[in-house]
Amino acid sequence: MKIPFLFSKKEKIPEKIFETEEITAKDIIAPPSIFIGSGSLKVGKRFSRSYFVFSFPRYLSTVWLSPLINLDVPMDIGIHIYPYSSEEVLKQLRKKITEVLAEIHEREEKGLIRDP
C-alpha cells in the first residue's frame, strides 16, 4: 500500500526567499521615499503610527492588553506611568475609605443588605 504523504518528494524551496536585502548607510540616511500624513509616517516600505493612551480602564483584567499584543504585526509598545508621591496617594485612599465607610453606615441605618 502506497501512502502518498509519507513518501512524496519534498518541494524545493527557492533560496531567494531566505535572502534578505542588505541595508546600507545610504538607505538609512536617504530612504527611497518618505510620506508624512496626519497621524502616520511611511519611510520606504515601513509604516508607522503612534497612539497615546491617557487613561486606563477603570477595572483591569489580566488580559486587557492581549488583543493589541496578539496582533500579527510587528510593533513596539512603551508604557510610561507617571509616579505619584506617597503622601498624595495616602490622602486619596483615606478619603475613599471614609466615603465607603460612610456609605456602609448609611445603608445599615436604612436597614439595607450590605453590598459586597
Asked if residue 5 belongs to a domain, the reply is no
What are the pLDDT digits (tens) for 52-61?
877 777 888 8
Asked if residue 17 belongs to a domain, the reply is no
Asked if residue 14 belongs to a domain, the reply is no
Contact 49, 39 (CB under 8 A): yes
The Cα–Cα gap between 70 and 19 comes to 27
Domain that holds residue 32: 28-110
Top pLDDT among 28 and 49 is at 49
What pLDDT does 101 receive? 92
What pLDDT does 72 receive? 86
Asked if residue 57 belongs to a domain, the reply is yes
Asked if residue 90 belongs to a domain, the reply is yes
The number of distinct structural domains making up the chain is 1
The predicted model gives 52-81 an average pLDDT of 82
What pLDDT does 25 receive? 80
pLDDT band at 102; cut points 50, 70, 90: very high
Spell out the alpha helix ranges (H) of the chain: 4-7, 25-29, 66-69, 86-110
Asked if residue 48 belongs to a domain, the reply is yes
Asked if residue 11 belongs to a domain, the reply is no
Query: pTM of the predicted model, to two decimals?
Result: 0.38
Asked if residue 6 belongs to a domain, the reply is no
